[in-house]
Structure 1
Amino acid sequence: MADNKKKHVYDESKIKTLSSLEHIRARTGMYIGRTGNGNHYDDGIYVLLKEVIDNAIDEFIMGHGKKVEITLEEDTVSVRDYGRGIPLGKLVECVSRINTGAKYNDDVFQFSVGLNGVGTKAVNALSTYFVARAHRDGKFAEARFVRGILDGEDQGSAKNEENGTYISFSPDPEIFRNFKFREDHINRRLRFYSYLNAGLVIVFNGKRVVSQGGLLDLIRDESEFEKIYPPFHYRDKMLEFAFTHTNRFSEDYYSFVNGQFTSDGGTHLSAFREGLLKGINEYASAKFDGNDVREGILGAVAIRLKEPIFESQTKNKLGNTEIRSDIVASVKKAVVELLHRNKPSAEKLIDKIKESQKLRKELNSVKKLARERSKAVSIRVPQLKDCKKHFNKSKGNHDDTMIFITEGQSAAGSLVSCRDVNTQAIYTLKGKPLNVWDLKRDAIYKNVEIYNLMRSLNIEEDSNCLRYNHVVLATDADVDGLHIRNLMITFFLRFFESVVRDGHLQILETPLFRVRNKKDTLYCYSEAERDSAMKKLGRSAEVTRFKGLGEISPKEFGAFIGQDMRLTPVVVDEDHSISEVLSFYMGKNTQERRSYIMDNLVVDEEIL
């Protein structure tokens, strides 16, 4: 006992002081949020890029430089702006010393996002390679760093170069494991920058991104195939917003502060939603419920603020409470004026709200019947094998929890016998689920299977209440399995799109082949892996083709849902409308779809 106590002595020798560089690398999440491998829009590598671009945008806001050039070559990103350029004598300090910069000076930057003097320094500290070069009045200064440590400097004449700053960096694979930049995520960020900074020219790998209409362009682009009426748009020096209605069941918003996309909203977004409701009710002389007004709405709001207070360094949520009442009043007044000015669109808006109101009343009676029916059958969901722990998004608890949505009792049996009962739940589908694409929300309550699935996930009222961080589709790798997978993806995109957009919906990759000899067994997820395994184990190796999950023994299956589990996230391509794509592939246009398949069918010559 005495020896054990000595090992845990808490005295002066245990106190450590980290340098700012060490702290950034040791506590990366404090500065850039999640690290990730680049699959998710908010992964850290994109936050690094954002921090660098933010500085270029701040120059544009202050009237210096109308173009930003960005290049991506494998894992290296470069950003060149044509602003004033970092003062040459302070270049090293500005990109490596915490709390150093001009963003504290209102005479230089009035509406800056980068207020804390941290962003570029974090990029530097988290990069294997970082170069900063400033051009001012025919002279330049350059500083090179390796993982935040100065590795070399240069300065001299550069008479043919325009003023501005050049930053190039490569994220550190020790921090961002197996990362890869996705150009669609970068393009989406750049479009947001262009919407918020009308006239700014962004060039990404030679392609121009520019907008003149501001948030009106954003809402037009995002609702191209879905809008019920042309978007309303308002803009002044400090506030801009745009909105329209779609036939979606969700309400979707884009919110910004000083050009920064606040993905978690904040005071400005909640004030915009309240002002919108009050303005519509005043115009219509009605008392519409907020849920009816906001169902299907697609909106965007941007404000400029001298001293924004964000809830974290990643600036995803605004916390300034003192601005709320002013924004509510401004939005309300502007909405009333917009509706009076455009009567045809205003009438379509009111008709949409009345339709939502009518459907909600009908839905309430269907909900009541569904709940009574559910209680009569069982207090518990019969298809669910639950786990002991559950995900809590607001508290960040139990990120490792998951639910496998699988088909049939044989596959479920394999999962049940080898799962981790603490973190892994199983929901068993009875055959093919309902295709809900052309159906209304009451379909959830009329179909027992998808109603029980919704109850199991706890997403009826709010997808933020999701009980499992990972919703995993575990279906067979055959035609029927892929069809079931597509039907489930359609269900989530139709009624609970945020589950997909937030990265919760994933696909379990299971091996297609087992290749083994007397000594070794290899599991292969593709024909290429199978061929490689056969070469490794020799021609005498036995090859087994798994046709379904039920064929894999529980002992084998345990390896595929453990530490080496392969999960592929379901990702929404931002360049396409979900409604348009799913209407074609899952809608009632049978003949059109059949013609497309026949025209594009590829026949394997080996089969002939």
Structure 2
Amino acid sequence: MAETQYTEDNIRSLDWKEHIRMRPGMYIGKLGDGSSHDDGIYILLKEVIDNCIDEFVMGAGKTIEIAIKDDRVSVRDFGRGIPLGKVVDVVSKMNTGGKYDTRAFKKSVGLNGVGTKAVNALSSYFRVESNRDGQSKSAEFERGELQTEELLEESSRRRGTKISFTPDDRIFKKYRFRNEYVERMLRNYVYLNPGLSILFNGERFFSENGLLDLLEDYNNTDDFLYPIIHLKGVDIEVAITHSKTQYSEEYHSFVNGQYTTQGGTHQSAFREALVKTIRDFYGKNYDPSDIRKSVISAISIKVMEPVFESQTKTKLGSTDMGDGLPTVRTYINDFVGRELDNYLHKNPDTAEKIQRKIVQAERERKELSGIRKLARERAKKASLHNKKLRDCRIHLDDMKSDRRLETTLFITEGDSASGSITKSRDVNTQAVFSLRGKPLNSYGMSKKIVYENEEFNLLQAALNIEESIEGLRYNNIVIATDADVDGMHIRLLLITFFLQFFPELIKENHLYILQTPLFRVRNKKETIYCYSEEEKRAAVVKLSGKPEITRFKGLGEISPEEFKNFIGEDIRLEPIMLDKAMSIEELLKFYMGKNTPDRQDFIIENLRVELDLVAGDQH
């Protein structure tokens, strides 16, 4: 074998935009089409907003205006404006930005000056405009290449920065912005920055009470066991209550305004502090799981120069607060220990309700313990030869993998469908869990059923969510059933299972329904897959003549070769979203309660519409 020449010609230095465009995952996590809340287009928007937030935190500008029309995004703040001589550099030169000067941005959230450059490189159109000192400077780019720049010596525009961009459709295929995800992101910004106004397409987002508002807005307040405990200190804010009906623990955690969906050192410290404070207050050595069962809470801390475990900052790795302060753990433990203890002494009603809840949780846990032990042993045995789960190589907790956000578990029915998906999936990021027939209707049943029912037990073991969703192994849980009455019923039964026992999977946007094509329209040159009658009509017109039309009745009919087209980069997912107007209890009663047969028929016939109601999905 001839030796390959290794000369200077072999070494190629990528310029900043080529590097970002070649490896976008390093900068924005994953690409996606906008159907998932952590898809790249939302990260682009977030990077631009983060800079505006930093201005607000510095006391410059109380309003941010955001508009999204089709694929064009514009974000305007009324901060200090980028220094005019640096407008082009700040959005197009690596290692240029104000955030290296820690005096100015001690607890900043942005990406150390990488953020807007990544947005610029990944946009087919990008424009930046800075207004300050009575002058205005603007520059336009295309995929990171400077096209034009202009300086207005005299300008009457209000100071601040405006950035407009269109994500590049060569990189983000067939994407669309979903207002629900954008609104959730904006809500989090205002909860963490009381006094800030964000206007989005004319609607105003504002919060007066921070994390207290967050818990009230994301939950049905009738389900709270007692009024929210809201504690604030320097660089820390906490809100806590317990749910009357929810089994699982629910945490919303933030660092420097960054939503850490994967938790991290601050969330672990908070869970630990909660247990220690409650044990000390009641003088009883309660089991941690009994104390935390049904807790609904939020914590926000600010640390100096935080270290995150991934580029998209979903998990905090820092152990220090910085600035000579103690460790994150000590700081949170001291704060919660002092403030929560004070609160409980002053509010004996709440203290009594918490204790009753813990005692009840303890009783239920003891009743379950024998069943749990058996179930764990069964799950362990099954996982050694678990025919139900065909796992993938990468998982959500593989922080070093830039594909961890793509991890997906398909829940399928029957052998033919799971066979097709298994043969055509990406073994690195896509796993398959196959159900045997219809799952049990778990409506109104206790947690006991999760352990007694083999399928539910194996499913929770596969997802690794028995204790909490911190250990969740897949970012996307996708229900892949036929679009017929039976398939729809299975969807409902699975959604019921998740709503009843693991609602935070839905609240945190992990649950989806796989959309599969209803028709294949093709001629000798081209094949088009259609997901609706409208798409079929358009395809027939496009292919003209008399194209061959096939209607797919079930997933099992689609060959593995074809299936590749529906679960690859063109995958279409429909998120299941919760509408806060309806409590989970009401929702379950509405769908799975003792309805008349007519009502059941009505629901099954109209499920697409009905599901949109569940999803709060405004199409």
Q: TM-score, normalised by structure 2?
A: 0.84
Report the equivalent of 2:261. Answer: 263
After the TM superposition, which residues 440-589 of structure 1 pair with which residues of structure 2 at under 5 Å, given as runs? 440-455=446-461, 459-461=465-467, 471-497=477-503, 505-513=511-519, 524-531=530-537, 546-549=552-555, 552=557, 556-565=558-567, 567-573=571-577, 575-576=579-580, 579=584, 582-588=587-593
Report the equivalent of 2:229. Answer: 232
After the TM superposition, which residues 61-76 of structure 1 pair with which residues of structure 2 at under 5 Å, given as runs? 61-76=57-72
State the Cα deviation string for residues 104-147 of structure 1 (Å, max 9, x = none).
33443343222622212221222111111111132211121222
Structure 1 vs Structure 2 CA RMSD: 3.6
Deviation, 1:480, is 2.0
Q: Distance in 2 between matches of 1:73 and 1:421?
A: 34
Q: 1:546 to 1:266 in 2, by over 3 A?
A: closer
Q: Distance in 1 between matches of 2:227 and 2:601?
A: 31
Amino acid across the alignment from 1:393: L
After the TM superposition, which residues 201-220 of structure 1 pair with which residues of structure 2 at under 5 Å, given as runs? 201-220=197-216
Report the equivalent of 1:606. Answer: none
Deviation, 1:186, is 0.7
Deviation, 1:224, is 2.2
Report the equivalent of 2:78. Answer: 82
Q: 1:81 to 1:581 in 2, by over 3 A?
A: farther
Amino acid across the alignment from 1:285: G
Amino acid across the alignment from 2:211: L
Identity %: 47
Q: 1:189 to 1:314 in 2, by over 3 A?
A: same
The partner residue of 1:392 within 395, 401, 405 is: 395
- Which stretch of the first structure deviates more once superposed, 77-86 or 445-454? 445-454
Report the equivalent of 2:616. Answer: none
Q: Distance in 2 between matches of 1:81 and 1:291?
A: 44
Q: Distance in 2 between matches of 1:298 and 1:78?
A: 35
SS in 1 for 2:148: strand
SS in 2 for 1:321: coil
Amino acid across the alignment from 2:357: K
Q: 1:213 to 1:286 in 2, by over 3 A?
A: same
Q: Distance in 2 between matches of 1:75 and 1:421?
A: 29
Deviation, 1:516, is 8.1
Larger radius of gyration: 1
- Is contact 2:507-2:578 (8 Å) kept? no
Report the equivalent of 2:135. Answer: 139
Report the equivalent of 2:323. Answer: none
Report the equivalent of 2:613. Answer: none
Amino acid across the alignment from 1:272: F
Deviation, 1:189, is 0.7
Report the equivalent of 1:241. Answer: 238
Q: 1:388 to 1:205 in 2, by over 3 A?
A: closer
Q: Distance in 1 between matches of 2:284 and 2:456?
A: 36
Q: TM-score, normalised by structure 1?
A: 0.85
Is 1:338 aligned with 2:343? Answer: yes
Report the equivalent of 1:173. Answer: 169
Q: Distance in 1 between matches of 2:299 and 2:285?
A: 24
Report the equivalent of 2:48. Answer: 52
Unaligned runs of 5+ in 2: 321-326, 608-619
Pairs aligned (count) = 590
- Is contact 1:252-1:297 (8 Å) kept? yes
Deviation, 1:89, is 2.0
- Is contact 2:513-2:575 (8 Å) kept? no
- Is contact 2:25-2:402 (8 Å) kept? no
Amino acid across the alignment from 1:342: N
Report the equivalent of 2:184. Answer: 188
Report the equivalent of 2:273. Answer: 275
After the TM superposition, which residues 412-451 of structure 1 pair with which residues of structure 2 at under 5 Å, given as runs? 427-451=433-457
- Which stretch of the first structure deviates more once superposed, 16-25 or 195-204? 16-25
Q: 1:18 to 1:530 in 2, by over 3 A?
A: closer
Unaligned runs of 5+ in 1: 603-608
State the Cα deviation string for residues 562-588 of structure 1 (Å, max 9, x = none).
244474435243553561563243342
- Which stretch of the first structure deviates more once superposed, 69-78 or 439-448? 439-448
Deviation, 1:234, is 0.8
Deviation, 1:481, is 1.7
Deviation, 1:151, is 1.4
Q: Distance in 1 between matches of 2:107 and 2:79?
A: 15
SS in 1 for 2:65: strand
Is 1:25 aligned with 2:21? Answer: yes
SS in 2 for 1:438: coil
